[in-house]
């Protein structure tokens, strides 16, 4: 038998580039051009509608860093919100994933139940929890009253000290089910033989988790943390539908501040500068996360 | 310090102007009365076409639907669709959306920053010479004016004053207060009787929280002092503002606000008042419709009261607060045909018979000449139309960033901060938002 060899196109051919071109064009139009325009407008003073666009150099950045206490407190809020959500959402989704990894009927049913909030819209979730937290008609304070805690009636969204964490709890409830599914997929990839071998060696459940599950789940954890970080930074609808950044700016996060600055106050120059800082903040958080994971491994 | 958006006027091109003039000629006096009042063939025709009517009053949809049906009946080939957005996103987005949507030829704006932004941005067409402008009470027209030109006509004559439950007041034996000590005493008596004195809205949009500030500002500050907060020429550290802030402290200490006030949403506050758990809803006459929707038995049991912030009532300059809002205008970016339909629609709405239908159907007083009120709540509160009321002063702060921070300061006092602490905390935030 003779074997016919087909000649492959030389590696330096420009043909493969043609396949990349459509995606590259879309990326250029919808990502690179807006990003460039954002950078450009961040150096201007512009109200968003008039033809007068005044170039002000780095003045918007200088204002943000040195003379805008609202921006400083908002960055702090965004980071605290992100941190709480990432920690608890990752932890709860991992626990749920470990509990529901087996494909039993109960496991599948519970996974569906926990996943359910994810399919709701953010506004719906915001309205549901706005009602849950209501000091007069809300379910949470009602339960406290019913069990005899009549004096423990926190103002979940009205107290500046806890409002941000009440929102974070809602965000965790909203997306834990989604991350649980990612963990279940990750857990099901771990070969059973490793656990069997560990059992033969006399390892207990904790030892198996520390020595097998956790190291092999690290790539999944990185994915979960990265996605959760992005989600928490973008929780605009949830915050807007529940508190609009109040009370006293205690739940203002960067997306709501950017919206307020650009759309309500018509200060597009400053809003785009806030967006650029926001983008840098997200990059920094990702970089720190990756460094932390590398050090851990 | 931020810079005020540059003033800008919308100029129609010559071509557009000619087309518009031709279209205008077609619609002079058109379609303005109800079908049964004037035979349709007697009027110049409104050009056929379709436009959108943009506003934020979801509770008025059914009444507007009826009016639109009548208007369309009188003007075959014309179609108007309501585009309704809740008030907060409307304030945030309507301007930009309407600039890019010529179909939204007729729209409404809030008095204050939104009207100012829209008129400045050239969205409103100049309607100074339109005949329908004369249908509206001249005193109310100022709300739709900028630099001497008429850009819009207000359709609401509201009272931004606390609404109270007359039955509860009677039961507890309190009367509407006429000075500040009486007001604080009223709160104490209502609370002692087991009622929430004021179902104040402390959560969500700042607009409703801020309504009561109108009453305090009216008798404690001049228009100039309030207006200049926006550009930093007056400050929250000034004595007049400290007095305003101290009134909030007084109200909090007298127990006027609910427990957990900053967690009280608008829906909860309306429900507390409609259920008779709260004696006062400190928003305005515009809330009466929503309250009656929750509890129809409240019809005829609501009245208005003014928190006079002076110890001696004689020192108060104003007896109440009113506002001219829902400022209707024509979109400058629409085509001549669309503008002609919008013009005819606003003309139709400002006819007494239609304004009357709207006012009585929605429990809103309308600043249209010759309107008669049959709605019991409008009749009950009509006495305020002749009192010495002040145009709601909080809308004088055109800088929304400053306005929000000022309200956050006052909300913080209700939440438990001392007036001095709140002023110290918010003064630098407000300075950072002031226009240069």
Query: B313 CA to chain A: closest CA distance, Å?
Result: 33
Q: How confident is the model at residue B13 (pLDDT cuts 50, 70, 90)?
A: very low
Contact A57, A45 (CB under 8 A): no
Strands B163-165 and B302-304: antiparallel
Q: Which two tokens stand for residue B298?
A: 């409240």
Nearest to B431 by CA among A272, A216, A67, A223: A67
Contact B2, B230 (CB under 8 A): no
Helices within chain A (DSSP H only): 15-27, 33-41, 59-66, 69-99, 105-115, 122-133, 139-146, 163-188, 192-200, 205-208, 214-233, 236-242, 254-259, 268-296
Q: From residue B346, how far is each of B1, B30, B32, B328, B408 by CA, in Å?
A: 40, 11, 8, 7, 37
What are the beta bridge partners of residue B80? Answer: B51
Residue A6 lies in a domain: no
- Chain segment A39-85, per-residue pLDDT in tens: 999 999 998 888 888 999 999 999 999 888 999 999 999 999 999 99
Mean pLDDT over the full length of chain B: 88
SS3 of residue B368 by DSSP: strand
Residue A101 lies in a domain: yes
* CB neighbour class for B19 (10 Å; exposed up to 12, middle 13-18, buried from 19): middle
pLDDT at B270 over 90: yes
Contact B435, B399 (CB under 8 A): yes
Residue A47 lies in a domain: no
Q: What is the pLDDT of residue A281?
A: 93
Q: What is the pLDDT of residue B323?
A: 93
| Dihedral angle computed from the Cα positions of residues A48, A52, A55 and A60, in that order, rounded to the nearest 10 degrees | -40
Q: From residue B98, how far is each of B119, B274, B295 by CA, in Å?
A: 12, 36, 36
Average pLDDT on A208-228 reads 92
SS3 of residue A156 by DSSP: coil
Q: Which residues of A touch B412 (CB under 8 A)?
A: 160, 247-248
Query: B228 CA to chain A: closest CA distance, Å?
Result: 17
Q: What is the pLDDT of residue B196?
A: 97
CA distance B363 to B283: 14
Interface contact B268, partner A, CB < 8 A? yes
CA distance B306 to B250: 16
Tabulate helix, strand, coil % of chain B (nearest 5).
50, 15, 35
Strands A54-55 and B78-84: unpaired
CA distance A262 to A258: 6
Residue B198: phi and psi, rounded to 5, are: -125, 125
SS3 of residue B330 by DSSP: strand
ipTM of the complex: 0.82
Interface mutation vs chain A, best among B210, B263, B397, most A CBs within 10 Å:
B263
What are the beta bridge partners of residue B78? Answer: B49
SS3 of residue B162 by DSSP: coil
CB atoms within 10 A of CB B114: 24
Interface contact B270, partner A, CB < 8 A? no
CA distance B429 to B312: 34
Element housing B165 (H / E): strand B163-165
CATH of domain B14-158+323-382: 3.40.190.10
Indicate yes or no: CB of A49 within 8 angstroms of CB of B99.
yes
Q: Which two tokens stand for residue B79?
A: 């179609």
Residue A205 lies in a domain: yes
Distance from chain centroid for Cα A158: 24
Average pLDDT on B99-105 reads 95
CA distance B9 to B20: 18
Query: B136 CA to chain A: closest CA distance, Å?
Result: 30
* CB neighbour class for A109 (10 Å; exposed up to 12, middle 13-18, buried from 19): exposed
Interface contact A203, partner B, CB < 8 A? no
Residue B327: phi and psi, rounded to 5, are: -80, 110
CB atoms within 10 A of CB A203: 16
Q: What is the pLDDT of residue B353?
A: 96
pLDDT at B37 over 50: no
Q: How confident is the model at residue A7 (pLDDT cuts 50, 70, 90)?
A: low
What are the beta bridge partners of residue B156? Answer: B325
Q: From residue B149, how far is each of B17, B124, B163, B195, B227 by CA, in Å?
A: 18, 11, 34, 48, 20
Q: How confident is the model at residue B333 (pLDDT cuts 50, 70, 90)?
A: very high
Q: Running DSSP on this structure, what letter comes out for residue A264? A: I
Q: Which two tokens stand for residue A273?
A: 């500068």
Interface contact B208, partner A, CB < 8 A? no
Q: What is the pLDDT of residue B43?
A: 54
CA distance B112 to B309: 24
Instruction: Give the least confident one: A4-13, A33-42, B113-122.
Output: A4-13
Q: How confident is the model at residue A5 (pLDDT cuts 50, 70, 90)?
A: low
Q: How confident is the model at residue B44 (pLDDT cuts 50, 70, 90)?
A: low
Interface mutation vs chain B, best among A44, A64, A248, most B CBs within 10 Å:
A248
Nearest to A294 by CA among A207, A208, A219: A219
Q: What is the pLDDT of residue A11?
A: 61
Average pLDDT on A130-157 reads 90
Q: How confident is the model at residue B256 (pLDDT cuts 50, 70, 90)?
A: very high
Average pLDDT on A113-119 reads 93
Query: A291 CA to chain B: closest CA distance, Å?
Result: 36
CA distance B313 to B75: 53
Percent of chain B with pLDDT over 90: 75
Contact A165, A84 (CB under 8 A): yes
Residue A285 lies in a domain: yes
- Angle formed at CA B409 by CA B290 and CA B303, multiple of 5 degrees: 30
CA distance B296 to A275: 48
Q: How confident is the model at residue B3 (pLDDT cuts 50, 70, 90)?
A: very low
- How is domain B163-318+399-433 classified at the CATH fold level? D-Maltodextrin-Binding Protein; domain 2 (3.40.190)
Indicate yes or no: CB of B5 within 8 angstroms of CB of A243.
no
Contact B302, B315 (CB under 8 A): no
Highest mean pLDDT among A13-27, B1-15, B27-41: A13-27
Q: From residue B310, how far is each of B159, B183, B219, B249, B391 by CA, in Å?
A: 20, 10, 8, 15, 19
Residue A231 lies in a domain: yes
- Chain segment A257-293, per-residue pLDDT in tens: 999 999 888 899 999 999 999 999 999 988 888 888 7
Interface contact B9, partner A, CB < 8 A? no
| Beta-carbon-side half-sphere exposure of residue A261 (alpha carbons within 13 Å) | 30
Q: Running DSSP on this structure, what letter comes out for residue B320? A: E
* CATH code where residue A93 lies: 1.10.3720.10
Residue A54: phi and psi, rounded to 5, are: -100, 125
- Whole-angstrom distance between the N-terminal and C-terminal Cα of chain B? 5
Percent of chain A with pLDDT over 70: 95
CB atoms within 10 A of CB B262: 28
CA distance A249 to A233: 16
Indicate yes or no: CB of A158 within 8 angstroms of CB of B262.
yes
Strand order in the sheet with B278-281: B196-198, B278-281, B163-165, B302-304
Residue A45 lies in a domain: no
Domain assignments of chain B as residue spans, ordered by start: 14-158+323-382, 163-318+399-433
Average pLDDT on B67-92 reads 93
Indicate yes or no: CB of B6 within 8 angstroms of CB of A52.
yes
- Chain segment B202-238, per-residue pLDDT in tens: 887 787 888 999 999 999 999 999 999 999 999 999 9
Strands B320-330 and B106-109: antiparallel
pLDDT at B123 over 50: yes
pLDDT at B48 over 80: yes
CA distance A240 to A242: 6
CA distance B116 to B325: 12
Nearest to A274 by CA among A27, A65, A113: A65
Domain B14-158+323-382 matches domain B163-318+399-433 at the CATH topology level: yes
Element housing A261 (H / E): none
What are the beta bridge partners of residue A20? Answer: none
CB atoms within 10 A of CB A117: 17
Nearest to A47 by CA among A258, A266, A265: A266
Q: Which two tokens stand for residue A20?
A: 């990349």
Query: B205 CA to chain A: closest CA distance, Å?
Result: 7
For chains A and B, CB pairs below 8 A equal: 121
Q: How confident is the model at residue B2 (pLDDT cuts 50, 70, 90)?
A: very low
Contact A48, A262 (CB under 8 A): yes
Length of chain B: 436
Look up the domain containing A228 and give its range: 60-296
Number of domains observed in the structure of chain A: 1
Q: Which two tokens stand for residue B167?
A: 């039955």
């Amino acid at each position: 038998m003779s074997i016919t060899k087909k000649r492959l196109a030389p590696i330096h051919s420009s043909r493969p580039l043609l396949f990349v071109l459509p995606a590259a064009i879309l990326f250029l139009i919808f990502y690179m051009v807006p990003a460039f325009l954002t950078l450009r407008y961040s150096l201007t003073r512009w109200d968003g509608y008039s033809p007068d666009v005044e170039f002000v150099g780095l003045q918007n950045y200088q204002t943000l860093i040195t003379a805008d206490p609202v921006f400083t407190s908002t960055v702090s809020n965004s980071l605290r919100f992100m941190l709480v959500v990432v920690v608890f959402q990752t932890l709860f989704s991992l626990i749920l994933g470990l509990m529901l990894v087996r494909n039993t009927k109960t496991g599948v049913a519970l996974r569906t139940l926990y996943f359910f909030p994810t399919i709701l819209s953010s506004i719906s979730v915001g309205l549901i929890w706005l009602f849950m937290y209501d000091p007069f008609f809300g379910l949470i304070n009602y339960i406290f009253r019913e069990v005899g805690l009549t004096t423990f009636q926190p103002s979940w969204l009205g107290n500046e000290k806890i409002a941000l964490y009440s929102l974070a709890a809602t965000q965790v409830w909203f997306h834990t089910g989604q991350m649980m599914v990612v963990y279940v997929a990750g857990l099901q990839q771990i070969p059973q033989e490793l656990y069997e071998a560990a059992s033969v060696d006399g390892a207990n459940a904790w030892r198996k988790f520390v020595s097998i599950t956790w190291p092999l789940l690290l790539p999944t954890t990185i994915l979960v943390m990265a996605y959760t970080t992005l989600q928490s930074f973008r929780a605009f609808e949830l915050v807007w539908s529940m508190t609009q950044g109040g009370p006293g700016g205690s739940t203002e996060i960067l997306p709501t501040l950017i919206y307020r600055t650009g759309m309500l106050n018509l200060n597009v120059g400053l809003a785009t500068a806030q967006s650029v800082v926001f983008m840098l903040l997200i990059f920094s958080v990702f970089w720190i996360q990756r460094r932390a994971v590398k050090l851990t491994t | 310090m931020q810079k005020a958006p540059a003033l800008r006027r919308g100029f129609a091109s010559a071509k557009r102007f000619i087309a518009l003039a031709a279209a205008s000629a077609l619609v002079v006096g058109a379609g303005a009365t109800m079908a049964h009042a004037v035979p349709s063939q007697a009027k110049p025709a409104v050009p056929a076409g379709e436009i959108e009517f943009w506003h934020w009053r979801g509770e008025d949809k059914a009444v507007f639907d009826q009016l639109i049906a009548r208007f369309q009946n009188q003007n075959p080939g014309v179609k108007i669709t309501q585009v309704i957005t809740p008030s907060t996103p409307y304030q945030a987005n309507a301007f930009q959306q309407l600039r890019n949507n010529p179909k939204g030829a007729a729209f409404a704006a809030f008095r204050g920053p939104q009207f100012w932004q829209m008129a400045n941005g050239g969205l409103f067409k100049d309607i100074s010479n339109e005949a329908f402008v004369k249908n509206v009470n001249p005193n109310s027209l100022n709300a739709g004016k900028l630099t001497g030109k008429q850009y819009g006509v207000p359709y609401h004559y509201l009272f931004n004053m606390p609404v109270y439950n007359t039955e509860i007041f009677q039961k507890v034996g309190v009367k509407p207060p006429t000075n500040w000590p009486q007001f604080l005493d009223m709160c104490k008596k209502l609370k002692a009787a087991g009622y929430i004195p004021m179902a104040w809205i402390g959560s969500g949009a700042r607009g409703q929280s801020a309504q009561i500030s109108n009453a305090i500002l009216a008798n404690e500050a001049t228009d100039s002092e309030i207006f200049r907060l926006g550009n930093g020429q007056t400050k929250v550290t000034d004595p007049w503002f400290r007095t305003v802030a101290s009134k909030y402290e007084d109200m909090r200490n007298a127990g006027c606000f609910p427990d957990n006030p900053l967690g009280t949403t608008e829906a909860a506050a309306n429900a507390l008042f409609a259920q008779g758990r709260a004696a006062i809803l400190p928003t305005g006459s515009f809330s009466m419709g929503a309250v009656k929707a929750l509890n129809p038995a409240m019809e005829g049991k609501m009245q208005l009261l003014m928190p006079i912030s002076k110890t001696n009532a004689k020192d108060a300059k104003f007896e109440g607060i009113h506002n001219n809002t829902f400022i209707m205008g024509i979109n400058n970016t629409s085509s001549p045909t669309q503008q002609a339909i919008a013009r005819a629609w606003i003309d139709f709405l400002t006819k007494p018979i239609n304004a009357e239908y709207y006012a009585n159907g929605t429990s809103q007083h309308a600043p249209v000449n010759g309107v008669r009120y049959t709605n019991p709540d409008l009749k009950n509160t009509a006495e305020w139309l002749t009192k010495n009321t002040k145009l709601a002063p909080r809308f004088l702060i055109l800088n929304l960033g400053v306005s929000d921070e000022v309200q956050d300061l006052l909300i913080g006092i209700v939440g438990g901060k001392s007036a001095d602490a709140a002023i110290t905390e918010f003064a630098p935030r407000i300075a950072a938002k002031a226009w240069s």
